[in-house]
Amino acid sequence: MNRPHSAVPVRHDTAAAGASPGARRLNLGVVAHVDAGKTSLTEALLHVGGAIEQAGRVDDGTTQTDTLSLERRRGITIRSAVATFEIDDVTVNLVDTPGHPDFIAEVDRSLAVLDGAVLVLSAVEGVQAQTIVLYRALHRLGIPVVFFVNKIDRAGAAPETVLEGIRRRLSTALVPLGHVHNPGTAAAETAPCTWDDPTEAERLTGLIADHDEDLLKDWLARDRPVEPQRLRATLGRLTRAGTVHPVLFGSARTGAGVRSLIGSVTELLPVAPGDDHAPVAAQVFKVERPPGGQRVCTVRMRAGTLGVRGRVSLGGDRSATVTAVEVFEPGGTVQRPCATAGQIARVRGLDGARIGDWIGSRPAATAAPTALPEPGFETRVVARDPARQGEVHQALTELADIDPLIALRPERGAARIRIYGEVQQEVLADTLAAEYGIDVDFRDTGVVCIERPSGTGSAALRMGEAGHLYNYTLAVTVEPAVPGAGAELVITADRATLPLHVYGNVDGYRAAIQEYLREPLAVGPHGWQVADIRVTVTDSDYPPAGPRAVDVRRTTDLVVREALRRAGTAVCEPIDRFVLEAPADELSPVLVLLGRHGAVPEALQTSGTIAVITGTLRKAQVNAVRAGLYGAAHGEGVLESAPDHYRPVRTTGRRRQ
């Protein structure tokens, strides 16, 4: 997306990369459920860290990291952004990540580049659905988490209740590092823990020793508190390992507790510098295409040194030459001759790179790539001015070239894309209007279905028969395959009749036919992709002079389409397997909600005060259940779902719009 990366211009500096050898760096994420105050906290951290003179306000649209117009209008974060400040000897790259469920894929890609994260909760609402999803994503990626309970000055704030909610829904391994006075009032303030106070030291030692045997043994063997230095060092080690989670309190609006938060994360989370002399390993997590310029990749340097004019691998046989490097430093990005391990940089020259790519190679120690969920919906993007439809297709092609999660399918008179939800539609509309000057509408939004053969169908085209224009004979039979099989190819025709001289051998012919099947199976009789099908080549022949590859390809397309028409197909809709968590005392309205939307509960378990329901649900109803769950479970329900299988739709003849 073409968006500013910072509120200040790029500075030019001919010095070597800014941080000295061995400097401590922290790539810190701020994540939260929508409206917990994530972007406001980011602004407060930048202000206290000295990166900006005055914290912006989400309501006023003056924040540094939310720069898309839709972000400012709706007060949400859509694309990750980076800003930098320094505290003592620690350089902090603050990565502001999305919090809306439509952008969970964007969240996961941003999380993968972090050294640690601050998970923000509202002192009023406490643990919410997306809080749980985010915490589990952080845990899955092995990213250390510090909790920040925000909005202690709001009416209804109950920090102790929120603490109990975290223990119940997220983790019991908590170490609160402060106390709140006058919560729920304008005078609310925090008091950081006093490490050298005997009573406080005993409390902290007990919490930390629960997770460290050496500390526990030493504590039990002595008659005095453990030294503060050792306590802090042990807490830092356990926090970086993800074993415990410090908890701090405050208000991003008033600034209460923000300095304590900065002090805690810069003490507990910084990682050791990487090896600048190792082979280059950098992760692309954002790509911009400035008007009229080279694409700019924002990368997290994992190892090595990425220098201007250096030739780097983009994976496979792709490579590129770096033409410019800008390193994030306080005040903006600074042009440098190179970027080193631990830094985040904007790099030009990587024209073939896409979001998620590795520059160089992925270190073995890093987490495996996250399997992102496929978008489950599709929509047609139509220009309000029909004369500009071609420009819409070109613009979406450019965006898909940057982001592999944008799946574009050209069609006559429109462009069809896959999406996660309604807000993503708004983002695309906003982007096309702002960056390309094109106003668009979205039509026929719905779930992505497939077609399966209803029965068996055979068809053939033979050389010389009326209407057949190609010098190749082919007969095929299509029939259902087992669910999940995709497209199977079986060849029973006499080997002597196969045009092996065109493709080299049987394996070459098989590979070619499998490729030729893509087109006729991409759009079935009802307009959907055909899956779970077995195609058997029963007859093949060609003239003495031999067929051309185009004869085989065209004949395959025609014969398979006719065989499909004779077999008939059934449209099948996606069914998700879901896990729903909700308070046990809210179970009745939750079950009513599931029944209203056709869910099929299969198991119910209760653990303490939480009920867990598993079952299946039509993909088309997932968003409706998620929306209704807030009211049914009073904001404490969470729904997670993943594709499970396809099922024939209940109405026949459902054709793709």
Please give the pLDDT value at position 255.
93
What's the average model confidence in pLDDT over 173-198?
Answer: 93
pLDDT at 330 over 70: yes
Q: How far apart are CA 429 and CA 435, in angstroms?
A: 10
Please give the pLDDT value at position 308.
95
pLDDT at 512 over 70: yes
pLDDT tens for 251-300 read 999 999 999 999 999 999 977 667 888 999 998 888 887 766 678 999 99
Q: How far apart are CA 32 and CA 148, in angstroms?
A: 10
**To which H or E segment does residue 181 belong?**
strand 178-181
Q: Spell out a b/e string for 457-475, using b for 16 or more CB atoms within 10 Å of the CB, else e.
A: bbbbbebeeeebebbbbbb
**Number of helices (H), then strands (E), in the chain:** 17, 34
Reported confidence tier of residue 51, pLDDT bands at 50, 70, 90? confident
Q: What angle is formed at CA 654 by the lines to CA 652 and CA 656, rounded to 5 degrees?
A: 165
**Placement of tokens 């019991």 in the chain:** 172
pLDDT tens for 340-371 read 998 999 999 998 888 788 999 877 666 555 55
Q: How far apart are CA 586 and CA 583, in angstroms?
A: 5
Please give the pLDDT value at position 74.
45
Please give the pLDDT value at position 372.
57
**To which H or E segment does residue 207 belong?**
helix 198-209
pLDDT at 633 over 50: yes
Give the number of residues written for the chain.
Answer: 657
Residue 551 near residue 461, CB atoms below 8 Å: no
Domain 281-360 has CATH 2.40.30.10: yes
CATH of 574-648, one of 3.30.70.240, 3.30.470.20, 3.10.20.30, 3.40.50.12500: 3.30.70.240
What pTM value is reported for the model? 0.76
Structure tokens at 599: 């869910």
Higher pLDDT, 109 or 179: 179
Q: What angle is formed at CA 178 by the lines to CA 173 and CA 182, rounded to 5 degrees?
A: 125
Q: Say what percent of the chain tops pLDDT 90.
A: 54
What's the average model confidence in pLDDT over 38-56?
Answer: 78
pLDDT at 478 over 60: yes
pLDDT tens for 208-264 read 999 999 999 988 888 777 889 999 999 999 999 999 999 999 999 999 999 999 999
For 25-268, give the CATH class: alpha beta
Residue 502 near residue 540, CB atoms below 8 Å: no
Please give the pLDDT value at position 397.
84
Reported confidence tier of residue 97, pLDDT bands at 50, 70, 90? low
pLDDT at 10 over 60: no
Fold match flag (377-448 vs 574-648): yes
Please give the pLDDT value at position 70.
43
Please give the pLDDT value at position 16.
40
Of the listed ranges 102-111, 405-414, 581-590, the least confidently predicted one is 102-111
Please give the pLDDT value at position 12.
41
pLDDT at 155 over 90: yes
What's the average model confidence in pLDDT over 646-653?
Answer: 77
What's the average model confidence in pLDDT over 418-425?
Answer: 76
Please give the pLDDT value at position 98.
56
Using alpha carbons, select from 248, 243, 286, 285 the residue that is nearest to residue 266: 248
**Placement of tokens 């008939």 in the chain:** 568
**CA-to-CA separations, 555 to 398, 520, 532, 547, in angstroms, rounded:** 34, 11, 22, 11
Q: How far apart are CA 292 and CA 65, in angstroms?
A: 23
What's the average model confidence in pLDDT over 154-180?
Answer: 95
Higher pLDDT, 332 or 52: 332
Beta-ladder partners of 306? 339
Which CATH number applies to 377-448? 3.30.70.870
Find the Cα–Cα–Cα–Cα dihedral 218, 219, 222, 227, rounded to 10°.
90
Please give the pLDDT value at position 373.
61
Please give the pLDDT value at position 408.
79
Domain boundaries, the chain: 25-268, 281-360, 377-448, 451-567, 574-648
pLDDT at 387 over 70: yes
pLDDT tens for 539-556 read 999 999 889 999 999 999
- Strands 24-32, 533-541: pairing is unpaired
**To which H or E segment does residue 175 belong?**
strand 174-176
Which of 57-61, 82-86, 496-500 has the highest mean predicted lDDT (pLDDT)?
A: 496-500
Q: How far apart are CA 490 and CA 559, in angstroms?
A: 15
Q: How far apart are CA 75 and CA 37, in angstroms?
A: 10
**Placement of tokens 């939800």 in the chain:** 421
Domain 451-567 has CATH 3.30.230.10: yes
Q: Say what percent of the chain tops pLDDT 70.
A: 85
